[in-house]
Structure 1
Amino acid sequence: MTQHTIIIRDNLKEQYSDVYTPEVLTALSALAHFNKDIKDVMGIRMERRAERQLLKKRIGFLDPETYIPRTTIKVQEAREGKFEGAIIPHDLQRQWIQGTGPAAKPNTPVESSIRNVAYALLSGADGWMFDGEDALGQISTMSLDNQRNLKLAIHKDPVFLKVAELIAAQMNRWAMDFLGRGIISNWKEQLEFTTKIFRARGLHLDDRHIRDASGVAMAASLVDLTLYVVNNYQALQKAGSSIVLYLPKIQTAEEAALWNEILTELENHLEISEGSIKVYVLVEQLEATYQLMEIRAALGKHFVGFNTGRWDYINSVSDAMAWDTSFINPNIESITMTYGYMRNYEDRVRRAVNTPDKHGNFALWQGGMEPNIPVGSEAGVSASMEKALAGAAREQREGASGKWVAHWKMVHIVRPVWEKAGEANQLGRKFPPLSYSQQDADGLILIEPAPTTIRGARNLLSVALQYGNAFGQGMQAAALKPADFFGNDDILYLMEDMATGEIRLSILWEWIHKGAILTEDDPQTSTKSGDVFSMDLYEQLMKEEYEKLLQADNKDVYTASKTSTLPIAREIAHVYIHSGVKPPWYIDLLNINLNNMDLAEAKKRITLYMNAFKENGKRITENLDFVNSTEAVRSL
């Protein structure tokens, strides 16, 4: 019997024996040695960040004569396409619309929780990215519920099929009312249409339930990858489907190369051919945009495409430029994909995927997120849907092969943009090759004039608080809007995930610590255009916006949360905004308070985190409720 010395907390091995199968545990043990590599690379990442802050140093392009770390590929060779990439498999050739969302709900039985998967696979989306990261709550055992539900669905378990039949009828009723037609004619056949994709958590996060043999928290990436692939690869391959992942938060080609090593070793362990696992990379970190071809090359046969989006990327730019007092983002509503640095980022991505590898293979570009939900007043829905269609049409014209939506109801609204174009994808469209000049580097941090207003600050603060509150309740995917618009059905709720919290606090931190200049008068606060956004002004807005949340009805802010998770969200925002040293991740402060409802305890944990980060640059990423003891080590 194979002996494993990974540590699983409490009785979860028995409670989730269908997820922690013997095959999974063997594979986790085989990959466990990568835990140190991941922690080392994350240490290098934080050292690089600290150096930039200290030396007031901008991110630059790599030296073309150097080798990509952990590879034998020269940077210049990667830029010229002198590497072996992947042929796009059949079920990724057409991905006009990919939906995204978690496969589980907080604190619900399987029959209810798995409804998320049924909605996704019956939606008519070409692909669905089931999220293990930004949109998946992490309270209790949600990450394991997510894996369980996906396994039940992929293996067509009767529990899932029974739910899917009921959901199909419900979806058709909505479609008849909203679209004037049904969208599902044969629900069993419809389940076969959508490509199943999984987003693992990023290298910067730890799993909440597993430690390695040394008692070190296991990197969440290793756990998510192993549980999903080992539990499902045979069923996917039997159905003729690809094994597809999204890899988030990659910052450098070195990190991509480490991912490639992990993927290859898992393939070898499972005795499947190298490159069987296909990956998209979410380009949501500024540094990655300086290394796009290098990331493609480092992932080699596994890489199929890039995804572009807004919130996480904006946050990464803000974080990378935290030292530069001249770099101040405007209202978040102004930072669209056609704004300054965002426009240049998108352009580099489309040029990178349309650069061929040595065999002439191109890669895919999946466009950004459409967060709108068609729920509200007739006028509000109409205006928002027009905006959604215009955004999709722009991305299609620019060369994206498809885009994301955050709700199944949006699939049939947005998909016609690509159906009308009629092209399966836009592989190989002609764009100028990537260049690496100082002008290119400067364009990736280009700030353009745009409004900076009190209304914008209120929006930032209100949604940041609401998101932190939702996170604490296990809803990392939440429909949100600023409190001033509660009850106004002309202003739609938007589906938001962790990225929305990250960027909103990040921009507020900028405005306060860099002295943002307001561009409009605001009678309510007696501020004038030209005034500086101060800490005192922030405190006034915090008091007012928090009070609005306390007064909101249960639909917008759960009553029970007002004395539990909402005060903790406020405390986290308070500490984050007041810190002269910008915290790297809002999610860190939320993660260490998962399953904690006590404000006094939250304050202790927040202080522990901030002191550790300020004193030695270390992030606390482990589950503080996971007691590490020798009795917990099990030979599994």
Structure 2
Amino acid sequence: MTSKLEFQSGILEAYRDVLTPEVRHALEALAPLETRRRELMAARLVRRKQRAEAGARIGFLDPASLIPGTQLRVADARSGNFDGAVIPPDLTCQWIQGTGPATKPRADLRSGIRNVAYALLSGADGWMFDGEDALGQVDTMSLDNHRNLKLAIARDPLFLEVAEEVAGEMNQWARGFFGHPILDDWRRQLDFTTVLYRARGLHLDDRHLRLDGQGFSASIADLVLFVVNNAAALQAAGRSLALYLPKIQTAEEAAHWNALLLALEAHLGLPVGTIKVYVLVEQLEQCFQLMEIRAALAPHFVGFNTGRWDYINSVSDALAWDPAFVNPDISSIVMTYGYMRTYEDRVRRAVNTPDRNGRFALWQGGMEPNIPVGSEAGVAASMARAVAGAEREQREGASGKWVAHWKMVHIVRPVWEKAGQANQMGRTFPPLTYGPEDAAGLLRLEPAPRTIAGARDLLSVALQYGNAFLRGFQAAALKPADHFGNDDVLYLMEDMATGEIRLSILWEWLHKGATFSASDPATGMAAGDPFTAALFTRLLEEEYAKLRQAGNRDVHDDSKDTTLPVARAIVLAYVTSPVKAPWYVDLLNLNLGVTDLAEADRRITRFLETFREDGTRITANLDF
């Protein structure tokens, strides 16, 4: 029986320039690999369930075994006995990479493509145009994202017209902030920034495609749309075809990504290794298989990226079964905290392990979420912290870092300009080891506060993020409601990882009876008191009420009786569910476009009951 790829009604007609015949042929060529993707996602949940039932922690692979999906031995991967990728010239120096989508929710073409202009004029060495955590999925936003990127890369006249306008606006801001413009020749500046694209993870289904009546891989959709639509223009300009791959958990999954890359290269007649990939290290299990992942993706792999929120979420989720593992306030879990320090150290050792040709890989540091908008004192303090964070990562060996807003590029980039090195590949660090101490370090907790204020932060931002997501803003400037109106506390650019980690920790605190380290007069809680269901419900209602009463600047008025109640229902159900859902994003995706609370409750209940019964995640678009 031949598999049938289906497109949502009206999509082919509306997006002929994006879903071209060449794109559709490539999607059909890669569609047979969808079965393997579904098997890998099912295997994830089986491993998660088995570990919970057995009380077993994640461990290192047997060095004598083969990496599943490859003919590589684990020991060979660890020793660098494989042929890694050659780093192309435009990826050799990536001091600052900006991140963000190429469009806005429900925006017309001219308005949406402004995002690309800001990115390519920002002065960032690279810009990771996001198809995943920061890109809203309402309506046809994912396709608008690809359309805008294709037009910009092809230097469409409309894009150039918009870019000239945006350049003027950027210089106007810079004159006020820095005292001088940041753009002399905007046309030349457009060619400075390397274009990168973050595809959606293997765990996500596309909203506009399905295969044989079931959901279809968002990873395949994004890979094909980006590469097929832009390969010719990028290669003609001497640029790399470069992707970021998110949410990989194992080397076996990395091998599947490699199979997708090889299949697309073969379909398009491109030499093996033409497509280059960074891998985001944002899952605990990855840190037990870093060299194996690097080897499984050779010759495409160029580097790792270290982030904060997603990785913390994965640690919390992987140890949801363990009553002894309880995180502190999220503000305490910085990159120098316990298990995070070990995580970063293993990544820098992995990229600086040479392959058999003496080649190393890149390490791109984590996200700087600050935006320089607020009071003079607030901006000064936040920018000082941002620069200090960049200096720390540079000292530790990162070749660059991420920023979440174009205004941060010229604030943080001087840290690497001062150092003057294109990258830090080949810097000497101790070799990776794989003993019990290494495994323990990846789960190391350290004393830190756990407070009512911390719980309010988790709740307020999780609710706000869910509301923003349902409105199409998967990247949103947020801060806890208690700081609304205080311009000394800056808004931070947050994406899906923000919501994931906050609900994970709330679930952890509730179901493990986490105790507070300090008293709180407002609630009457004393140090040593547990986080109870009654307290959670009280705090949820109080934080929700603050959002309903907030001004339009912080919580859009037209969301308060539409998407905000749905976000509250999801938060309540997720946190109180005895069985922890693996992803907040599943429940949000399920309710995109839903404003009827009764319908949202039905979908939430259906998802959680199905997951409890047989471990199945409902990920297909119910409104296809």
TM range (shorter): over 0.9
User: Residue in 2 aligned with 1:25?
Assistant: 24
Task: Work out whether residues 4 and 26 of structure 1, in 8 Å CA contact, stay in contact via their aligned partners in 2.
Answer: no
User: Residue in 2 aligned with 1:52?
Assistant: 51
Could you tell me how far 1:521 is from its partner in structure 2?
1.1
User: Residue in 2 aligned with 1:402?
Assistant: 400
2:380 to 379, 382, 396: 382
What whole-Å deviation, never above 9, does each CA across 1:228-263 have from its counterpart, x for those lacking one? 000000100000000000000000000000000110
Aligned mates of 1:590, 1:532 — CA distance in 2: 29
Aligned mates of 1:589, 1:104 — CA distance in 2: 23
What whole-Å deviation, never above 9, does each CA across 1:65-115 have from its counterpart, x for those lacking one? 000001000000000000111011000010000000000100110000000
Could you tell me how far 1:560 is from its partner in structure 2?
1.0
Aligned mates of 1:348, 1:614 — CA distance in 2: 35
User: Residue in 1 aligned with 2:346?
Assistant: 348
User: Residue in 2 aligned with 1:130?
Assistant: 129
Aligned AA for 2:98? G
User: Residue in 1 aligned with 2:144?
Assistant: 145
User: Residue in 2 aligned with 1:608?
Assistant: 606
Aligned mates of 2:215, 2:472 — CA distance in 1: 21
Aligned mates of 2:160, 2:596 — CA distance in 1: 40
Give yes or no for the alignment of 1:62 onto 2:61: yes
Aligned mates of 1:341, 1:302 — CA distance in 2: 29
Aligned mates of 1:108, 1:73 — CA distance in 2: 47
User: Residue in 1 aligned with 2:243?
Assistant: 245
Aligned mates of 1:505, 1:37 — CA distance in 2: 30
Task: Work out whether residues 4 and 25 of structure 1, in 8 Å CA contact, stay in contact via their aligned partners in 2.
Answer: no
Aligned-pair Cα RMSD in Å:
0.8
Secondary structure of the structure 2 residue equivalent to 1:71: coil
Secondary structure of the structure 2 residue equivalent to 1:240: coil
Could you tell me how far 1:5 is from its partner in structure 2?
3.8
User: Residue in 2 aligned with 1:177?
Assistant: 176
Aligned AA for 1:124? G
Task: Work out whether residues 405 and 411 of structure 1, in 8 Å CA contact, stay in contact via their aligned partners in 2.
Answer: yes
User: Residue in 2 aligned with 1:490?
Assistant: 488
Aligned mates of 1:599, 1:359 — CA distance in 2: 59
User: Residue in 2 aligned with 1:216?
Assistant: 214
Cα 1:328–1:4 shift into 2, 3 Å: closer
What whole-Å deviation, never above 9, does each CA across 1:203-249 have from its counterpart, x for those lacking one? 0000000012x222110000000000000001000000000000000
Aligned mates of 2:576, 2:11 — CA distance in 1: 39
Aligned mates of 2:566, 2:10 — CA distance in 1: 29
Task: Work out whether residues 477 and 496 of structure 1, in 8 Å CA contact, stay in contact via their aligned partners in 2.
Answer: yes
Secondary structure of the structure 2 residue equivalent to 1:145: helix
Could you tell me how far 1:597 is from its partner in structure 2?
1.1
Aligned AA for 1:304? V
User: Residue in 2 aligned with 1:255?
Assistant: 253
Task: Work out whether residues 477 and 495 of structure 1, in 8 Å CA contact, stay in contact via their aligned partners in 2.
Answer: yes
Aligned AA for 2:118? Y
User: Residue in 1 aligned with 2:474?
Assistant: 476
Could you tell me how far 1:343 is from its partner in structure 2?
0.1
Give yes or no for the alignment of 1:295 onto 2:278: no
1:520 to 510, 518, 521: 518
Aligned mates of 2:529, 2:607 — CA distance in 1: 34
What whole-Å deviation, never above 9, does each CA across 1:334-378 have from its counterpart, x for those lacking one? 000000000000000000000001111000000000000000000
Aligned mates of 2:593, 2:271 — CA distance in 1: 41
Give yes or no for the alignment of 1:584 onto 2:603: no
Aligned AA for 1:172? N
Secondary structure of the structure 2 residue equivalent to 1:130: strand
Secondary structure of the structure 2 residue equivalent to 1:173: helix
Give yes or no for the alignment of 1:319 onto 2:308: no
Task: Work out whether residues 46 and 617 of structure 1, in 8 Å CA contact, stay in contact via their aligned partners in 2.
Answer: yes
Aligned mates of 2:35, 2:246 — CA distance in 1: 19
Aligned mates of 1:56, 1:136 — CA distance in 2: 36
Aligned AA for 2:536? Y
Task: Tell me whether 528-537 or 346-355 shows the greater mean CA deviation.
Answer: 528-537
Secondary structure of the structure 2 residue equivalent to 1:590: helix
Aligned mates of 1:275, 1:91 — CA distance in 2: 15
Task: Work out whether residues 128 and 196 of structure 1, in 8 Å CA contact, stay in contact via their aligned partners in 2.
Answer: yes
Aligned AA for 1:68? I
Task: Tell me whether 517-526 or 394-403 shows the greater mean CA deviation.
Answer: 517-526
Give yes or no for the alignment of 1:273 onto 2:305: no
What whole-Å deviation, never above 9, does each CA across 1:359-415 have from its counterpart, x for those lacking one? 110000000000000000000000000000000000000000000000000000000
Q: TM-score, normalised by structure 2?
A: 0.99
Secondary structure of the structure 1 residue equivalent to 2:277: strand
Instruction: Please give the residue correspondences for 1:446-595 in structure 2 after superposition, counting only pairs within 5 Å.
Output: 446-595=444-593
How many percent identity over aligned positions? 67
Give yes or no for the alignment of 1:422 onto 2:420: yes
Instruction: Please give the residue correspondences for 1:89-238 in structure 2 after superposition, counting only pairs within 5 Å.
Output: 89-212=88-211, 214-238=212-236
Aligned mates of 1:35, 1:350 — CA distance in 2: 33
Secondary structure of the structure 1 residue equivalent to 2:61: coil
Q: Which runs of 4 or more aligned residues in structure 1 lie more than 2 Å from their structure 2 counterparts after TM superposition?
A: none
Secondary structure of the structure 2 residue equivalent to 1:153: helix
Task: Work out whether residues 257 and 299 of structure 1, in 8 Å CA contact, stay in contact via their aligned partners in 2.
Answer: yes
Task: Tell me whether 178-187 or 201-210 shows the greater mean CA deviation.
Answer: 178-187
Aligned mates of 2:384, 2:185 — CA distance in 1: 30
Give yes or no for the alignment of 1:75 onto 2:54: no
Aligned mates of 2:216, 2:537 — CA distance in 1: 39
Q: TM-score, normalised by structure 1?
A: 0.97
What whole-Å deviation, never above 9, does each CA across 1:173-226 have from its counterpart, x for those lacking one? 1011101111111111000000000000000000000012x2221100000000
2:409 to 408, 411, 415: 411
User: Residue in 2 aligned with 1:630?
Assistant: none
Aligned AA for 1:79? R
Could you tell me how far 1:535 is from its partner in structure 2?
1.1
Cα 1:385–1:457 shift into 2, 3 Å: same
Aligned mates of 1:424, 1:11 — CA distance in 2: 47
Aligned mates of 2:90, 2:533 — CA distance in 1: 52
User: Residue in 1 aligned with 2:305?
Assistant: 307
Aligned mates of 1:344, 1:553 — CA distance in 2: 42
Aligned mates of 1:579, 1:108 — CA distance in 2: 36
Cα 1:484–1:205 shift into 2, 3 Å: same
* Alignment size in residue pairs: 623
Task: Work out whether residues 104 and 146 of structure 1, in 8 Å CA contact, stay in contact via their aligned partners in 2.
Answer: yes
Task: Work out whether residues 247 and 282 of structure 1, in 8 Å CA contact, stay in contact via their aligned partners in 2.
Answer: yes
Could you tell me how far 1:4 is from its partner in structure 2?
9.1
Could you tell me how far 1:513 is from its partner in structure 2?
0.6
User: Residue in 1 aligned with 2:37?
Assistant: 38
Aligned mates of 1:272, 1:478 — CA distance in 2: 38
Could you tell me how far 1:292 is from its partner in structure 2?
0.1
Aligned mates of 2:89, 2:552 — CA distance in 1: 46
Secondary structure of the structure 1 residue equivalent to 2:560: helix
Aligned AA for 1:77? D
User: Residue in 2 aligned with 1:6?
Assistant: 5
Structure 1 residue runs without a partner (length 5+): 627-636
Aligned AA for 2:578? G
Aligned mates of 1:140, 1:152 — CA distance in 2: 20
Secondary structure of the structure 2 residue equivalent to 1:563: coil
